[in-house]
Amino acid sequence: MRNLFLILVLLFATPLFAVEPDEILDDPVLEQRARDISKNLRCLVCRNENIDSSNAGIAKDLRLLVRERLVAGDSNTEAVDFIVDRYGEYVLLKPRMSRENAVLYLTGPVLLVLGAIGAFLYLRRRSRRPSQSQGELSREEAERLAQLLKD
């Protein structure tokens, strides 16, 4: 169903481009930093699109704001903080690693550890099942065999 309904694009795909030539900074290093930052910021009126590829007006405003901050000498973190202060956490496409988001970040590792323990216990049980007797003899069996052979 899914990729089909690209309706956001219906709402926001104007023939305008995402990043436009007049936005680009002269300093390629600063511009690259701006692009990297833009990829992690959400276009607020769009559905799940970053400001780097969005055509909406607010995305353009945010792109210009990011570049303004970088030109003013902000570090990447400072520039992002500046925008989060004004637009809220919603603007971040990757939520901060905070206590509130602990569940989000810990789900993977915790499930992996629990799953690994479960899998290990299961595998160990499987590898200890009795039919080993087909191949090797258990100690009691070996003793009995030795007994029998002695007799």
Backbone phi and psi for residue 76, each to the nearest 5 degrees, phi listed first: -55, -45
Nearest CB to other proteins, comparing residues 78 and 120: 120
Please, what is the minimum distance in Å from the beta carbon of residue 86 to other proteins?
15
Q: List contacts with other proteins (CB under 8 A).
A: 1-10, 13-21, 24, 39-40, 42, 47-50, 53, 88-95, 100-101, 103-105, 107-108, 111-112, 115-116, 119, 122-124, 126-127, 129, 131-132
For 54, the token pair is 């969005």
Please, what is the minimum distance in Å from the beta carbon of residue 109 to other proteins?
9
Within 45-135, where are the H helices?
57-71, 76-87, 102-127
Please, what is the minimum distance in Å from the beta carbon of residue 147 to other proteins?
27
Nearest CB to other proteins, comparing residues 110 and 146: 110
Nearest CB to other proteins, comparing residues 16 and 64: 16
Burial 109-147 (b: 16+ CB within 10 A, else e): eeeeeeeeeeeeeeeeeeeeeeeeeeeeeeeeeeeeeee
Please, what is the minimum distance in Å from the beta carbon of residue 90 to other proteins?
5
For residues 126 and 138, what is the distance between their CA atoms, to the nearest angstrom? Answer: 16
Nearest CB to other proteins, comparing residues 78 and 100: 100
Please, what is the minimum distance in Å from the beta carbon of residue 42 to other proteins?
5
List the one residue out of 33, 59, 63 whose CA is nearest residue 47: 59
Nearest CB to other proteins, comparing residues 3 and 147: 3
**Residue for token digits 């690693």?**
97
